[in-house]
């Protein structure tokens, strides 16, 4: 019978994605990209069809409001379709 193989890195150190320094760097990078895109939105000239499209960072605000709406809709939907824990046992 073959012995179980555990790579040495799994025993000694956590994977690179679980290290706090890596997570901090990824978060800072994501925030940096968001800031650069928000600043670029003030610089680039827009030619929107509707007036709201010409407002800086309007797409970001629209996306955030949509995301919050989806979360609240999911919470409300959970109350409607949630079953008891023993639903299938009955």
Residue 70 falls within a domain, yes or no? yes
Q: Is residue 39 part of a domain?
A: yes
78 class by beta-carbon count within 10 Å (0-12 exposed, 13-18 middle, 19+ buried): exposed
Domain extent at residue 64: 48-82
How much is the pLDDT for 14? 75
Regarding whether 76 and 58 lie in a shared domain, the answer is yes
Residue at 61 is within a domain:
yes
The pTM of this model reads: 0.61
Q: What are phi and psi of 5, to 5 degrees?
A: -100, 120
Cα(75)–Cα(63) distance, rounded to whole angstroms?
19
The pLDDT score that the predictor gives to residue 1 is 54
Q: Is residue 76 domain-resident?
A: yes
For the stretch 25-50, pLDDT in tens is 999 999 999 999 999 999 998 888 99
Residues 57 and 76 in one domain: yes
| Residue 65 covered by a domain | yes
Residues 60, 72 within the same domain: yes
């Amino acid at each position: 019978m073959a012995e179980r193989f555990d790579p040495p890195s799994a025993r000694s150190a956590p994977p690179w994605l679980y290290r706090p320094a890596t997570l901090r760097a990824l978060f800072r990078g994501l925030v940096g990209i968001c800031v650069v895109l928000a600043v670029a939105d003030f610089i680039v000239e827009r030619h929107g069809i509707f007036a709201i499209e010409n407002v800086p960072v309007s797409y970001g605000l629209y996306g955030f409001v949509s995301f919050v709406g989806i979360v609240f809709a999911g919470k409300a939907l959970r109350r409607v379709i949630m079953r008891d824990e023993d639903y299938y046992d009955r």
